């Protein structure tokens, strides 16, 4: 397989960490975009020790802070000629409504909007690298309806699960839109469900959310198992380009909800995302 330059968000734990380790073993040059640089440097040392791949670099990036995202993208553009793989992996769920530094609902900001800005800012490098763009979504998207796009900031009736479900639906919309809009540049894009993974995800939830997570724990898979579809889409030497834009589970295309196939909602999300990131795109 040809040498690949790969950018991974949220690489310091869970499936992001397992993805980074596996791709390092496949001789990818890794750029780890992390909120906590100390953890990122620790991971870098682990990767080098386990794989002897020294092409591992750490860049600060807080996906809930659009200025931080733009600075990370600018740093990458200053270092690289092309990017071959972008794994939009970072995400999370919040027990209560919080706002990002830019005043956006935090779950939407860190799961979708930050990745939208990062991807679009890196687009010249992604086009040069005929990149694969991989969005980590979730089966939680099945709980979301396109009408939630009427209030992405959840000014009315906030629910942590609804906010998370909407963000995961957005991950699927974004992958499909990228696949359509940039196919002529050789770019392919995918969304995936990693499985219900036993990591620290959702640990900050209280009440019913905490109870549900505890009940689900015995049935969860390991982070290494959860990373397998990520690793397949990022590391497979040849993927059929006709699969671009699809939603994957367990390494295979799967059918998302009818809502996830709603073209007008998908286009609406693109417009909303452009409006919210307009001050940073240049």
Of the residues 158, 164, 173, 182, which is catalytic? 158
Name 213's Cβ contacts closer than 8 Å, sequence gap at least 6: 202, 203, 205
Q: Alpha helices, DSSP H only, in the chain? A: 14-25, 37-51, 66-79, 106-108, 114-121, 123-128, 160-181, 207-216, 223-226, 228-235, 263-277
Predicted local confidence at residue 172, as pLDDT: 98
CA distances from 226 to 18, 49, 196, 223, 245 (A): 9, 23, 7, 5, 20
pTM greater than 0.85 (yes/no) = yes
Q: Tell me: the pLDDT tens digits for 133-191?
A: 999 999 999 999 999 999 999 999 999 999 999 999 999 999 999 999 999 999 999 99
Q: Checking DSSP bridges between strand 247-249 and strand 252-254, what pairing results, if any?
A: antiparallel
Cβ atoms 134, 98 nearer than 8 A = no
Two structure tokens written together for 156? 């009315």
Q: How far apart are CA 121 and CA 108, in angstroms?
A: 18
User: Across-strand partners of 30?
Assistant: 6, 56
Among 21, 3, 20, 177, smallest CA distance to 84 is for: 3
Quick one: average pLDDT of 69-89?
98
pLDDT, tens digit (0-9, with 9 covering 90-100), for 256-279: 999 999 999 999 999 999 999 999
The structure tokens 């990373």 sit at 227
- 5-277 CATH: 3.40.50.720
Contact (CB, 8 A) for 56 and 108: no
* Residues 6 or more apart whose Cβ sits within 8 Å of residue 256: 141, 142, 172, 191, 247
Spell out the domain ranges in the chain.
5-277
Q: What's phi and psi for 81, nearest 5 deg?
A: -95, -30
| Annotation says 190 is catalytic | no
Q: 226: pLDDT confidence band, cut at 50, 70 and 90?
A: confident
- The rounded distance, in Å, linking the Cα atoms of 236 and 26 is 10
**Residue 133 CB partners (closer than 8 Å, separation 6+):** 85, 86, 88, 119, 126, 175, 178, 187, 188, 189, 190
The pLDDT score that the predictor gives to residue 224 is: 77
Distance of CA 69 to the CA centre of its chain: 13
């Amino acid at each position: 397989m040809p040498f690949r330059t790969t950018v991974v968000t949220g690489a310091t734990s869970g499936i992001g960490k397992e993805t980074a380790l596996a791709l390092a073993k496949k001789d990818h040059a890794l750029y780890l975009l992390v909120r906590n640089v100390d953890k990122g440097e620790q991971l870098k040392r682990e990767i080098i020790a386990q794989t002897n791949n020294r092409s591992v670099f750490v860049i600060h990036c807080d996906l809930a802070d659009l200025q931080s995202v733009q600075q990370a993208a600018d740093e990458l553009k200053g270092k690289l000629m092309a990017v071959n793989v972008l794994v939009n992996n970072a995400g999370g769920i919040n027990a209560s409504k919080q706002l990002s530094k830019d005043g956006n609902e935090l779950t939407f900001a860190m799961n979708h909007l930050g990745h939208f800005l990062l991807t679009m800012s890196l687009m010249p490098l992604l086009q040069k690298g005929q990149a694969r763009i991989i969005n980590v979504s979730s089966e939680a998207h099945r709980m979301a309806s396109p009408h939630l796009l009427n209030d992405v900031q959840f000014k009315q009736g906030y629910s942590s699960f609804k906010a998370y479900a909407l963000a995961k639906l957005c991950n699927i919309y974004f992958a499909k839109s990228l696949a359509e809009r940039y196919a002529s540049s050789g770019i392919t894009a995918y969304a995936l469900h990693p499985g219900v993974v036993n990591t620290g995800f959702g640990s900050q939830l209280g009440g019913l959310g905490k109870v549900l997570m505890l009940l689900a724990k015995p049935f969860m898979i390991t982070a290494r198992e959860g990373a397998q579809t990520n690793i397949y889409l990022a590391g497979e030497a040849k993927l059929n380009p006709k699969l671009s834009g699809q939603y994957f589970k367990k390494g295979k295309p799967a059918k998302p909800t009818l809502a996830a196939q709603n073209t007008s909602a998908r286009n609406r999300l693109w417009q909303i995302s452009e409006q919210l990131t307009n001050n940073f795109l240049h």
